[in-house]
Structure 1
Amino acid sequence: MSLLLYLIRNSRGTLLIALVMSIVGGLGNAALVALINQALSASRDGLARLGVEFLAICLVVLVTRTLSQTMFMQLGQRAKATLRMRTIRRIGEASFADLEKQGSARPLGVLTQDLDSVVVFFVNLPVLATQGAVIVGCLAYLGYLSWPILLCAIATIALGIAGSHLISAKALFHLRSSRKREDELVKDFRALFDGAKELKLHKARKQAFIDDIIAPNVEAVRVQRSRGYVLNSAAASWGNMILFVFIGCTLFILARLFPVSPAVMSGYAMTFLYMIMPIEGLLSAIPTVSMARVALERIEQVNADLPEEKMHPATHASGFDTIALEGATHRYFREKENEVFTLGPINLTFKPGELVYLIGGNGSGKTTLAKMLVGLYPPESGRILLNGAPVDEAHREIYRQHFSVVFSDFFLFDSLLGMRVNGLDAKARTLLEELQLDHKVNISDGTFSTTQLSQGQRKRLALLVAYLEDRPFYLFDEWAADQDPVFKDVFYKHLLPQLKAKGKTVFVITHDDRFFHLADRYIKLDYGQVVATGKGSDLVADTHQENARPQMSA
């Protein structure tokens, strides 16, 4: 696997030393068995020499096992941190459209449970290496005692491994399936919290969600995970049984076929009995290896599904003369209507220092247009022009830096990340007072004291953040929808004109027809198409004329 090779390359020296330590410890264990077998028939003088050797090897085993386990634990945590940051950076560098398509459940599972599976694998590596070395050392000792019986032992072990592999392959299938189902569970668990209000207010909905949606998935995960572990246990039991069968064959059949001394036969029996534990240790590690394999596959798949955007090295955008959408379109599937919605083709131009309102009914594509305008959705046909030059993939990142946006479904971070402005806290406190948030929120070193506010207050805090970004183009998506009349007046009559006076382009998605006359220009969208544009004052006049027409009686 490429990810496993990536981890090995990044920790080659430490991994090699840890493996050598584990192998030395395992061979030391096998040497202890050989010394014990020799001691059973040794003379009094020989026992003293063997005792000194036994003590020395015990110390070597203790030191090497302790060091190898420590190093492998550190490797496991380093691998987890490396893969976690690699995936986080990939998420950060992926396109917004790919992030929406991917969803959050699978990446969250990868960043938590799957990475823990990789750590468990690394923690078990010293067991695998040590026990493997014990088995190799024991086999070498068995070959020293009698090579014909050794060949029979190798054939027996090969048979045990083949059977275990076949059973483990079926176990891996169930483990993979259970991890896929857990992605659905993550979404359901999040819904338990995100939809808590709705569930509390509707008992039948709560019971249906828990009993009909969550419970079947929980049970399916339990069944498949249990099958996987049971099959892995069966694989270990198969290997264990094969070893006992070989011991019986050695004592009762091979002893008749090959002329060996009773000491050799007892050595074989004792060595094989000692090998049972290491082999069981190897077989019991199969589930951790299987889960690590599934985890690495999932991590690779998430990274593959989130290709990196090509980025221009610049990180700061200067002002602009014009931003234009030229025949730009975007399509997406609407599940509720069971149809593909097409936005565009859109032909619009924006200049500095103008205030533009976007109006239209729900579902007309206003937010989708906003996301395409700010560069979150690349046009599927047509193009976006910045100062007359097409915005290609390599320059889309720097293009996006022209915008400060507060979407209707905005996310509010608890600190002013990425802002390096002299007197930032003082500017933020002034805005907190103007937005009447200073009694709720304080700021220190660019960090808010709290974001646990009402939706209207959170929007005001998001507006503060956007204002401090001081970018050339501002976009507000239904910002005033959750505000009281006082703050609506502040927003439309003071904040927006202030931004315009600074030479900013201000683009407002709104339904507040009381303030339409304040717009320099309006754009009306209906089912993905621009159906009207004009001056805000003209729109108000048309509205008044429409309201003044005599109404027909029923």
Structure 2
Amino acid sequence: MLAGRYMKVVVLTCIFLVGAIYYLNTNKVELPQTIIKTNDSASEIGIYIKNQAEEQGLPGVAAVVLDGSQLIYQGVVGFSNSQTGKPLDANSRFELASNSKAFTGLAIQYLVQQGKIELAHSIDTYLDDMLLTYGGQHVKVTVHDLLYHTSGIGSDTLSILRVSDSPDALSVLVTDVKGMELKYQPGSRFEYATINYDLLGAIIERVTSQSFESYVEAQILKPLGLANTHFSDEQLASGHSFYLGTAKPYEAPYYRANAPAAYLNSDIRDITTWLELLTGEKELPPLLKASFEASLVPNRQVLPSATGGSYASGWWLIQSGAGRYEHSGSNPAFGSFIMFEPHKGRAIAVLANINSSNTEDIARGINSLLEGVQPQSLEADQYRNVDTVSTIVLAVTLPFTLICLVFLGGAIKQAVTGQRQFISSPLGMLNKLLLSSVFMAGLAVCLYTIPQLFFAGVTWDVVSVWAPASFVPALIALQISAFSFILYLIFSMSWRAQDDKQVFANATLGAISGLGNTLCIFTINMAIHMDDPLANQSYIIFFFGMILYVAGQKIVRTQVLNITHKTVYEMRMKMVNKILRSPYFKMEQVEKEKIQTVLNNDAELISQFPHFLISIITSATTLFFCFIYLGTVNLTGLLLALGVVLVAITMFFIAGMRVNGYIEKARTIQEHFFHFINDLISGLKELNLNEKKSHAFSKDMDISCQDYRQSNVKSGVKFVNVLVMGELLFTVVVGFVAFIYPVLFSNLSAADVTTFVLVFLYMTGPVNGILQNIPQLMQIKVAWGRATEFSNYLNEFESKVPQQLAQKSKNAHSIRLSDVTYSYQSHDGSGQRQSFMLGPINFEFKAGEVTFITGGNGSGKSTLAKIITGLYRPDKGQVTVDGHVVNSEQLSALYTAIFCDYHLFQKIYGVEADSKRAEIDSHLEALSLTGIVSIESGVVSSTKLSTGQRKRLALLVSHLDERPVYLFDEWAADQDPKFRKVFYEGILPELKRQNKLVIVISHDDHYFHVADTIIKMEMGQMSLLDKEELHA
């Protein structure tokens, strides 16, 4: 186990890391706002933009809004650089990202109008030897295909771009693209690929013999009156990227070859002019006007997108009403969104100095305000989600790694000090190392496929540029934490401590198993919405998740199985040892049915707790990651799912509180049932002899069983009702999502609705897995309470005397009782309580003498015998041995006793039977037991003997015990006349000659002459009988 100071360090570190990350994710920064122009009708737009920017953690936002051909809002919110606190102003420029494509498309259309380019021409007409292949064959790719993204070039080709500011960057790109294998047949389908517009830029350079940037600035931007729009970075606001929940300045690498598609910079004044041009508010020269109009004509030769959009020259035309043009832009450190509806004279542009899809959400929100509709709540964009997940991973893995290392250090220390023993084998260690290597390799492969799954198949070089700065460290931390846990797991499984239940390792494996389960549903859901599920290699993560789940469950359930049985063993033996060390007079007051129930049923129930705990951890982990997944799709969906689960679990706990009484009653009835079982076994003779008695007993037992059944059924029905309601609740929620969500959330796609339904259906299993374990947990709670209550009762009386004291006294010359009294209460046949008091007793038993105790039933003989043997503790007075006061434990160590209800064990305990082989055989012969019973290695061959034979065998055991004091309680009563005479006239005199202290409870007055002293008990009082008067 870990030292306390180590655990304090771990806990404090965890609290600090989680607290710091929580603060970073929830700390809302007040953003400065500069409204350059607005009117009364647009006042709420400025408030809306500021609130949304602050809520989404955007460092800076610029927006322009035209409505009814009038400028109604123009302003900036936030910082040009969040680190220095420099605010944005009207001169701050933003990268337009993919909204640069509209200017490149316009330049192509302008050259088409001039007759310098034909859209139908193959691109190798303008780019020498620019041959591309499909299916291994050279195919024709036209300028038209590049312009409308139907070239067959895949979106993953972004990886081709090189970090470069060289003037010949586009020429290098052309060289890199030559000979590329296309993803589709050119002209057959649409797929958005940035490289298409970069190649258009290369064509512009070849046709005009100018650099792309110079041509566009001179022939397009200047005539349009966009004097502040350039490809240079002058006045450019600082770009940002999310890192641990906040936006941090980020200087992304520059890809000059991507300038035609992404690197045009502008400010809100020029963007205002651009929107006025888009809505037709400014006049253009005829040639440029024709080019402008051509650039807005969509390509109808391929099917529209799922949203009903067709692509024009750098614009999406959405078939909604009279049509709406829009386009988003995404660069590593900037984002933009522009939409306009010429027939309404409405145009909206939102720019941000961070890569975020919230620019689109804010623009759509502004449009809703203009329509008089309440805007939808903004959802975190993909990159912020990636940062959030990365932050969570760091918040979990860093403390987890620290905990693993601390546990590993503690385990190594225990191994060095000998507290842990090596239990594995070289082959076992090799297997563990090989399996661990396979796991780490599988994890590495899964992480390597992340770009295929989440980043359109680009390379890791591109991912490292575009992803939040927390992403790569999170993956490294994940691998380190996995490696550290595997090290601890291998070590703890190979070097095992005696009391190590491996709670941390098993709980972690349960959580990992739940994570694997979630990965399966996650990849299945993704595959359902893909045209080619094998293309992005999501099946790799699916198989890895499946292996995680199965392997985690196999390991943890095997471990839990061992722990469960070990727990039963330890609990039972701990209870048994407590019982053995407890005073007999106290244990005599405990109903044996209670002991049987605790040792058998309660121990079994409690031992199942680790199993239920692991099941709950696995299900809870699955739900946790399902919640995260739903949260990335729609936050409202996450809250709904969480609410449903909490309602279901709360209902179950309320039901659990209500049925606790039934479970307690069933547990009490169980004790009564054991009482009936004991009566059935012990009284079977009497029941077989009397049919009427047997029938009455069966009737009572049936009533007990019925009560037990009804209590369990009543408690079970309560849980079943709640379980059914929980399942019904999930069904209602699935229906609500399917029918109501599309109405409530207009921005929720059919794919998102399908995701919600699929995940909700999948969550039903884990939720039921938690709920169905609650009844068992309630039973375990009751069993634990009863077991703890019984254990505490034993703790009050458990002997504190070391066992070695039993070996101190080999001889006892006298045992004196001085003013010994003992009292107890009993019940008579009518149920009335009666008191009985023994003593005061004053007497001395001496070695080398035989003392008889006689008296009628209830006179106190057995009580006196239990006092002098130490089974009962006197209320008053004291017992001394050879003049020394002794306690009950020391007194008991002197005796070998055969009581009238003596229990004959199957094995002779406390005696080295093998070393006394000859003595055993001699006693068997003397007691006429040879051929009837045998003793091998201390084990009695049979205990199915007559009462007299059992008493004789008990006498044999007493001889082997070699104690200084013998007590016989009515031993001769069950013997035939022959052995009765042997006992009184042979065995007792022999013990006397051996100087043993012998006490005999007897009514055989024919043999009273054997006694040296005769004690008569009557109503708890002792008197001495005169032997001579008895024989007279």
- TM-score, normalisation: structure 2: 0.50
Q: In structure 1, what is the equivalent of residue 722 of structure 2?
A: 235
Aligned residues of 2:519 and 2:541 also touching (Cα < 8 A): no
**1:445 has 2:937 as partner:** yes
**1:343 has 2:838 as partner:** yes
Q: In structure 2, what is the equivalent of residue 152 of structure 1?
A: 640
Q: In structure 1, what is the equivalent of residue 712 of structure 2?
A: 225
CA deviation after TM superposition for structure 1 residue 457, in Å:
1.1
Aligned residues of 1:24 and 1:61 also touching (Cα < 8 A): yes
Secondary structure of the equivalent of 2:1015? strand
Structure 2 counterpart of 1:389, from 864, 884, 887: 884
CA deviation after TM superposition for structure 1 residue 13, in Å:
5.8
Taking the TM superposition and a 5 Å limit, the aligned residue runs for 1:476-495 are: 476-495=968-987
Aligned residues of 1:520 and 1:535 also touching (Cα < 8 A): no
Aligned residues of 1:328 and 1:379 also touching (Cα < 8 A): yes
- Change in Cα spacing, 1:111 to 1:200, as seen in structure 2 (3 Å) is same
**1:332 has 2:824 as partner:** yes
1:13-43: CA deviations, max 9, x gaps? 6222222112111112112222222222334
Secondary structure of the equivalent of 2:925? helix
Aligned residues of 1:149 and 1:254 also touching (Cα < 8 A): no
CA deviation after TM superposition for structure 1 residue 217, in Å:
0.6
CA deviation after TM superposition for structure 1 residue 70, in Å:
1.4
Taking the TM superposition and a 5 Å limit, the aligned residue runs for 1:143-542 are: 143-211=631-699, 213-258=700-745, 259-307=747-795, 308-312=798-802, 313-316=804-807, 317-336=809-828, 338=832, 339-392=834-887, 396-420=888-912, 423-530=915-1022, 532-541=1023-1032
1:467-488: CA deviations, max 9, x gaps? 2212111111111111111111
1:114-172: CA deviations, max 9, x gaps? 22223333333332221111111111101111112312322222222211111122223
| Partners of 1:472 and 1:18 in 2: CA distance | 54
| Partners of 2:812 and 2:961 in 1: CA distance | 16
| Partners of 1:12 and 1:138 in 2: CA distance | 33
Aligned residues of 1:102 and 1:305 also touching (Cα < 8 A): no
Secondary structure of the equivalent of 2:805? coil
Q: In structure 1, what is the equivalent of residue 555 of structure 2?
A: 67
CA deviation after TM superposition for structure 1 residue 45, in Å:
7.4
Taking the TM superposition and a 5 Å limit, the aligned residue runs for 1:24-173 are: 24-44=512-532, 47-173=535-661
The aligned amino acid for 2:776 is T
Length, aligned pairs only: 528
CA deviation after TM superposition for structure 1 residue 311, in Å:
1.5
| Partners of 1:468 and 1:31 in 2: CA distance | 68
CA deviation after TM superposition for structure 1 residue 402, in Å:
0.7
Moved more, 444-453 or 10-19: 10-19
The aligned amino acid for 2:856 is G
The aligned amino acid for 2:504 is L
CA deviation after TM superposition for structure 1 residue 445, in Å:
2.1
CA deviation after TM superposition for structure 1 residue 230, in Å:
1.6
- Change in Cα spacing, 1:45 to 1:358, as seen in structure 2 (3 Å) is closer
- Change in Cα spacing, 1:399 to 1:11, as seen in structure 2 (3 Å) is closer
1:77-110: CA deviations, max 9, x gaps? 1111111111111111111012111121111112
Moved more, 244-253 or 323-332: 244-253
| Partners of 1:420 and 1:86 in 2: CA distance | 25
Q: In structure 2, what is the equivalent of residue 549 of structure 1?
A: none
Rg comparison, structure with higher value: 2
Moved more, 493-502 or 64-73: 64-73
| Partners of 1:325 and 1:254 in 2: CA distance | 88
Secondary structure of the equivalent of 1:325? strand
The aligned amino acid for 2:731 is F
| Partners of 2:777 and 2:875 in 1: CA distance | 43
Aligned residues of 1:235 and 1:283 also touching (Cα < 8 A): no
CA deviation after TM superposition for structure 1 residue 12, in Å:
5.5
Unaligned runs of 5+ in 1: 1-8, 542-554
Secondary structure of the equivalent of 2:748? coil
- TM-score, normalisation: structure 1: 0.91
Higher helix share: 1
Unaligned runs of 5+ in 2: 1-496
Q: Which has the higher contact order (CA 8 A, sep 6+)?
A: 1
Superposed CA RMSD in Å reads: 1.9
Q: In structure 2, what is the equivalent of residue 3 of structure 1?
A: none
| Partners of 1:197 and 1:350 in 2: CA distance | 41
Moved more, 518-527 or 226-235: 226-235
| Partners of 1:203 and 1:487 in 2: CA distance | 37
| Partners of 2:935 and 2:763 in 1: CA distance | 65
| Partners of 1:101 and 1:10 in 2: CA distance | 35
Aligned residues of 2:666 and 2:711 also touching (Cα < 8 A): yes
Aligned residues of 1:72 and 1:125 also touching (Cα < 8 A): no
Aligned residues of 1:343 and 1:528 also touching (Cα < 8 A): yes
| Partners of 1:10 and 1:293 in 2: CA distance | 26
| Partners of 1:101 and 1:53 in 2: CA distance | 63
Aligned residues of 1:516 and 1:537 also touching (Cα < 8 A): no
Aligned residues of 1:165 and 1:235 also touching (Cα < 8 A): no
Secondary structure of the equivalent of 1:314? helix
1:39-84: CA deviations, max 9, x gaps? 2233437744212222222222222222122112122111111111
Moved more, 307-316 or 482-491: 307-316
CA deviation after TM superposition for structure 1 residue 222, in Å:
0.6
- Change in Cα spacing, 1:157 to 1:422, as seen in structure 2 (3 Å) is closer
| Partners of 1:439 and 1:422 in 2: CA distance | 19
- Change in Cα spacing, 1:306 to 1:520, as seen in structure 2 (3 Å) is same
